[in-house]
Amino acid sequence: MAEKKIDPLAIQKEQIARLLRSADEFARDNRFDDAILELERVLRIDARHSYARSFLERVRYMQKKADQSWRQQTEEAELSLDQRMNVISRHLASAEAYMAVRNYKQALAVIAEIYRIDSTNYYARAFSERIEAAMQQEQGAAQAEQAQKPLPRGSLMMYRELLKEVWFDGKVTPEEAEELARVREAYTITPEEHEQLEREVRVDAYYEALCIAWRDNVLTDAERSALQTMREKYGISAEELATAEARFESSKRALKTKGTVLIVDGDQNTLVFLSKRLKSRGYDSEIASSPDKALQLLAGQTPDLILTDVSFPGQSIDGFEFLERIRQQPALKRVPFFCMTTSRDPKVVRAGLRLGIDFLLAKPVDIETLIAALEGRLRRLP
């Protein structure tokens, strides 16, 4: 009997699921330190696990609120009767002020402070009833208004970018589908809006692939096959295919690179890898094996972005000093500057940020993170 093959990916997913369940149980029991340890283990397995990252931030926030509540209760328990009455009076005045400007959420928070001091306070109970009645009245009016109010454009743009991320490999995993559903619910994105945005993302991705494939004005058999595979994976319909190709033909004459990136690294393999990957995504690149050689290149040209390693053993300057040299030159001082480093020392990170680095990447570089930061930074340039 043949041995059953072990699926490392399945084992990893089960390990992550087990850690997430454990973290959830710890969080429910207010064992926040233990929950944080479990979530950090997940991120060591999969640094891009979006749910674990958001869960970790939520647990840290819960821990912070719990610590603040404990300190406040301890301080209030030590107050004398007169002091407690004075504090309650101030809280009631604050609640009245918040009610006057219809900030009911903050008014309820102030009333909650009174309940912590005196759980049977008559005035607090009366205020609570007033606030709840006012909130119900405004909620009805807000619901009627929201029914006619269009979704903020920024929410749709954010959701579109999320769709681009999950559709990048041509498929949506069950975990990604759950995350998309949570975002749609949070931002009240309708099924119709989702379908429209998803269709746009797929067509845009195919259009970009066409642009990259035709950049050298030759379409090889391998590129034709890749485009066919992409059409099948993305489920591009005949109508969507016609739309993408018509858009490509109209812009074919003006087709140009998305930008030029100067890559500076002492390792030749890193230079070749990053250069090829950037080219496959529509970017031109220049390479240099040291900051000194990069400065020679920069004497005759200005790239759209500089990407450099931090450490250059045996060279006259390192990545940080290279940045200082760049910022001293008027023609280059506004060029975005990204750094790469193998160091996980927070002091190194903070030092780089203080010097004015636009983005710091961990090595080995995750190409998707680099492309996302690159596109976002270049988009903000005038």
HSE value, Cβ hemisphere, 13 Å, CA-based, for 268:
0
218 and 335 together in one domain: no
Q: In this predicted structure, what is the pLDDT of residue 103?
A: 83
CB 348 within 8 A of CB 310: yes
Structural domain ending residue among the three candidates 209, 234, 251: 251
- Indicate the residue among 140, 166, 185 that finishes a domain: 140
Residue 258 pLDDT more than 70? Answer: yes
Q: pLDDT tens, 176-218?
A: 888 888 888 877 888 888 888 888 888 887 777 777 777 666 6
Instruction: Give 65-116 pLDDT, tens digit per residue.
Output: 776 665 665 555 555 566 667 777 777 788 787 877 778 788 888 888 877 7
Task: Using the structure block, give the residue that is written with the tokens 């995350």.
Answer: 179
Nearest CA to 288 out of 352, 316, 270 is that of 270
Residue 151: the pLDDT is 44
Flag whether pLDDT at 370 surpasses 80.
yes
Note the pLDDT of residue 153: 47
In a domain, 8, yes or no: no
Supply the pLDDT for residue 266: 92
Measured distance CA(154)–CA(56) in Å, rounded: 25
**Rounded-to-integer distance, Cα 112 and Cα 347, Å:** 41
Give the CATH number, domain containing residue 299.
Answer: 3.40.50.2300
Task: Identify the three-state secondary structure at position 300.
Answer: coil
Q: What is the widest separation between alpha-carbon atoms in the chain?
A: 86
Instruction: Please indicate, yes or no, whether residues 56 and 158 belong to a single structural domain of this protein.
Output: no
| Band of pLDDT at residue 251, cut at 50, 70 and 90 | low
What pLDDT is recorded for position 150? 47
Residues 6+ apart with CB under 8 A from 146: none
| 1, part of any domain | no
What Å distances lie between residue 32 and 38, 43, 50, 72, CA to CA? 10, 17, 19, 19
In degrees and rounded to multiples of 5, residue 205 shows phi and psi of: -65, -40
Instruction: Judge if 213 and 293 occupy the same domain.
Output: no
**Quick check: 231 pLDDT over 60?**
yes
Per cent of the chain over pLDDT 70 is 83
**Domain span including residue 23:** 13-73+80-140
pLDDT tens track for 107-153: 888 888 877 777 777 677 777 778 777 877 777 665 555 544 444 44
What pLDDT, in 10s, does the model give residues 157-181? Answer: 777 778 877 776 667 788 888 888 8
* 301 shares its domain with 207: no
Do 160 and 99 reside in the same domain of the chain?
no
Looking at per-residue pLDDT, the higher value among 380 and 90 belongs to: 90
pLDDT of residue 1: 47
Q: Per-residue pLDDT averaged across 291-308, rounded? A: 90
Mean pLDDT over 289-300 rounds to 89
Do 67 and 166 fall within a single domain? Answer: no
**Class of residue 55 by CB neighbours under 10 A (exposed 0-12, middle 13-18, buried 19+):** buried
Q: Are 219 and 209 in contact (CB under 8 A)?
A: no
| Structural domain contains residue 21 | yes
Residue 359 in domain:
yes
Q: Which residues contact 216 (CB under 8 A, 6 or more apart)?
A: none
Q: Residue 180: its pLDDT value, please?
A: 84
Q: Is the pLDDT of residue 305 over 90?
A: yes
Residue 363 Cα to chain centre, angstroms? 19
Q: State the pLDDT at residue 217.
A: 64
Query: What whole-number distance in Å separates Cα of residue 191 and Cα of residue 178?
Result: 14
The pLDDT of residue 264 is: 95
Higher pLDDT, 182 or 293: 293
164/113 same-domain check: no
Asked which of 68-72, 258-262, 285-289, 321-325 is least confident by mean pLDDT, the reply is: 68-72
In a domain, 7, yes or no: no
Averaged pLDDT, 30-39 = 87
**Domain boundary, last residue among 216, 251, 286:** 251
Number of domains in the chain: 3
Alpha helices in 235-361 (DSSP H): 238-251, 268-280, 291-298, 319-327, 346-355
